[in-house]
Structure 1
Amino acid sequence: MAEGSRLEADRAALIAHYDLDAGGFATLDQITDFAAALCEAPIALVSIVEADRQRFLARTGVDVEETPRDLSFCAHAMLDDAIFIVPDASLDPRFADNALVTGAPRIRFYAGAPLVDGDGMPLGAVSVVDDKPRAGLTDVQRQGLSLLARQVMLELEGRRRDREMITRQARDAQAVADSDRMFRTLADTMPQMVWSALPDGYNDYFNARWYEFTGVAQGITDGEGWSAMFHPEDQPLAWKRWRHSLATGDPYEIEYRMQHHSGDYRWTLGRALPIRDEEGQVVRWIGTCTDINDQILMVEEREVIAHELSHRIKNIFSVISGLIGLSARQHPEIQVAADDLRDRIMALGRAHDFVRPHGPNSHPDQGEGRLWGILDQIFAPYRDSDGARILYSGENPAIDDRSATPLALLFHELATNAAKYGALSEPAGRVHMLVAIDGREIRIDWREEGGPPAVPAMDHGFGSRLMQLSVERQLGGRMTRDWRPEGLSLCLWIPAASMSRSPAGMA
């Protein structure tokens, strides 16, 4: 595209932004009246030069509203940096044959100040015309005509800004309407009940699923009417948490019982998040209510089954211990082995009892789900009148049902050996345990003091193999032992992931 064609295309696009067809140029009429008086000319014009014509936005002393562009004096004036003056058009070769010169209004004198936008784009001119030749304009007239041209551009730029603002507002309003329509359509397709609230908590929208679930008429639950749908016992907590979220902007989440259209109350999960503006201020809340009644009933049924299964497993441990005791009485020669086996079975029973599902009245007194809690269970037989003889300090990592069994067997074996051969075989003997986090591992130091000198094991008996199986194979850890004169020193490194499936296993 040639440079001239590109310029004309740009000019046409710019002129379109001024919305010239809307009319309303009373201020410009005043400007042409003043220009005619200032320059003592019978005709004054505000012209916009378009591709095929020049349009008169305001005129004084002439009735026509436009002329063809090829007759336009202003098309020349708008390209000049200063005021464009033609003293006698009939003598000027550029205009001598112009129909506006040879015919009405028989232009002889022309003076035009260019209209140029802020980016330097020429648009037209403010001009004065006389049917008599003139030498030119006085300095005051030149200055005045230039000022009037700038005033015209201010008027046009203001008109363009107003039009753009109106267009933008209309576009924004349409976008909001489209967004609202899309939101409502999306909300009505969701299985959850969806609602929204103003920053002060006034509920102003509920989707179709809400009315389907509650069975109430539209508008009944607007404002604070929603709370009446909740069980009376759940309303105080729901209000407390909602007011906290409104005051702080924190997410809202709560489980409450909501009245179904059948009249029954069903458990529902309520959630809401704030929508914030660019400055971080909450402008709206969007929330959902999800029917979780069936899931809660399912969880309760699973808990009943889990409690029943756990109770039966505990009974199995008791039966096995009883059978071992009965066999030992009938065969005294296996009494020692039977006692060891029964103790190990009882240790497993304690571990199971510690990590099994509990009801509200059967929870362990303390340490639930933590290492020290199960150690309290395992080491309970080794307390004396002065209190515990196995003392532990440091971290208290989480454990679960996967690690409870090998840990119970391991520490039962250590405590049993300490009672038979080590520190706990002497009244003054003690065991100190230090639990620490070592990278991604849990390190446990077992140090015996106050007992007889430790004697290295000459062979690997069942107890040693059991400890190795528990640490290395079941827990994926490693173990070192040091038989010191003051007592056995044992170090364990167990991966935190083996102690508990929970990410909080190292907490």
Structure 2
Amino acid sequence: MSLQERQQASYPLYLEGGGEMGMLTRSFNWSETVLGTPDKWSPNLLTTLSIILHSKFPMFLWWGPDLIQFYNDAYKPSLGKDGKHPKALGQKGAECWPEIWPVIKPLIDQVMNGGEATWQEDQLIPIYRNNNLEDVYWTFCYSRVIDVNGEIGGILVTCTETTNKIKRTQEIEQTLIKLAESESRSNKLITQAPVAVGVLKTKDLIIETANSKILQFWGKSANIIGLPLALALPELEGQPFLQILDDVYTTGTPYSSYEIPARIEYNGIFKICYFDFLYQPILNQSGETESILVVATDLTEQVEARKIIEENFLQFRQLADSIAQMVWVTDESGTHEYLNKRWYDFTGSNFDHTKNEGWDDLVHPDDVARAAEKWIHSLNTGDPFEIEYRLKKHTGEYVWVLGRAAPFYNAEGKIAKWFGTCTDIHDQKLLQEQKDDFISIASHELKTPITTLKVSLQLMQRMIDNQSPQMMSNLIERANKSMDKVGVLIEDLLNTSKYNHGQLHLKKTVFEMADVIDECCSHIDYEGKHTIKITGDTNLKVYADAGRISQIVTNFINNAIKYAPKSKEIIVRVYKENDQVKLTVQDKGPGIASEKIPHIFDRYYRVDSSGSQYSGLGLGLYICSEIIKKHGGTIGVDSKPGEGSTFWFTLPFLGTTAAVSP
């Protein structure tokens, strides 16, 4: 069952709770709408509804071509008491909002056609409610909701009605204007006003009145009253305020702005502060500007707090982008909100693709169900998320990663977000698999000769009183061969341990390559089935550890006998190549597949992956490569299927005579 099918099957979980609107949504007869019953709804619609119903912030949703409506308890007051609620639930947008449709439909079309989200602040949109057409102010955002098919499925509306705020502001402004126009009362009332208020007189902007709030904002005392503003606040020079005030006085046109930075001096220290302010011209009976009313609100603390939050988030992003792990953040429902640069570089994906069903597209098909089940369990229980699964790289290759996530709780003790990481563990995973295979192979390889040795010893014990010289000789030979095999295996293990801990020590001497080759060939059992042909200049000298080099040559020849049993002739060749001595061992066997050649000298690697056809621990060639690296040489293999293989190594060339001493 796909994730989409599981979500649709468990749709009641998405609609549970949510207060009155949750109850109405569950009991609504959706079969009579174009959406059909909830079990057929898109998983993205269900997830969005779950967020809306459990939010304490007013939220509204239009879904599908007919813009079918959903909303939560926090949005209900905005519908008034004239019957829009609960009729608006499940209703088409055009039927619900005929009085404002010409205003909002273009905004809806903009978002539905793939445009950017809209943002309107303190927008006047009159609506019919409470049996009357009311002037209503809104701050709202229309943002798109992507459906499972990657197309825009609907529009999420997050909104706040600001009618009361606007009306209060207008009332304060009008009251202050009227009070300012009444000379007999203005000074006293302005002084007592709960907001920062001042009056600037004439074109020279003489400070006629200033209450304690505005003096505090300016960082001045009452001694500045009667002075021109430019003289009282010389730090305004080079800032736009004096010019704006001059324009207001000249044109008689009010001016207002929000979160404007101002450089103000406090006790000899200059500081950047942020204000919302209004410059309102006060006209005389002739319609000429007589003075300017200044109303200001200090927003410095709010702006600085927001900047700290923004800076912290920027630092988080920079930190997240600088680490090796892939970092991701989701909301409480599991919808992705952020992925770091490492994620995009690794997957070659983008945010729009990943934030919905795109994650499942990148997970190996065999791991999707397991990962989804684990993730849904964590979302439902709050348990930390941890799982190993395969993730597709931008190259198309699946790589093992370790996924982890932990919940972040808000001040109310509820999960607000999930912070997660994906760590590339592919090499460790493969190494662990190789180690597991190695343990299995080692157990098998050691068990066989030990069993043979045990049987030989048991038979010899039985023959103590009734000895047969011929049989005793055979049993001793078999026991010795078994002991030799065990010795070789143990030696490989000990050598590997030394190499891993940097404990390989070389005993270098000057010798001819012929000495090593002759010694190797005298100890190798051909069983009369193979011929070793030696060619080239075997008198070439090297400065190396003769025992270790002999170990490599023996390994190469034994491998040729083992893996190319039908190659009757094995050719050993020594020659000078540039400033190196190169030794090659060539067979006419089946060759090696090209995809296996890059791994042939890896630790624990065996060309025969079944582990049954050939003996060995997969350490021989790895040990050979470590020995050659320690000598400063190179090692490799040239092979094509059906054409045999040539293993080789190089060592620094010294000459053909003993010209160099150790």
TM-score bin (small chain): 0.3 to 0.5
- Structure number with the bigger relative contact order (C-alpha 8 A, sep ≥ 6) is 1
Q: Calculate the TM-score normalised by the size of structure 2.
A: 0.28
For normalisation by structure 1, the TM-score amounts to 0.36
Bigger Cα Rg: 1
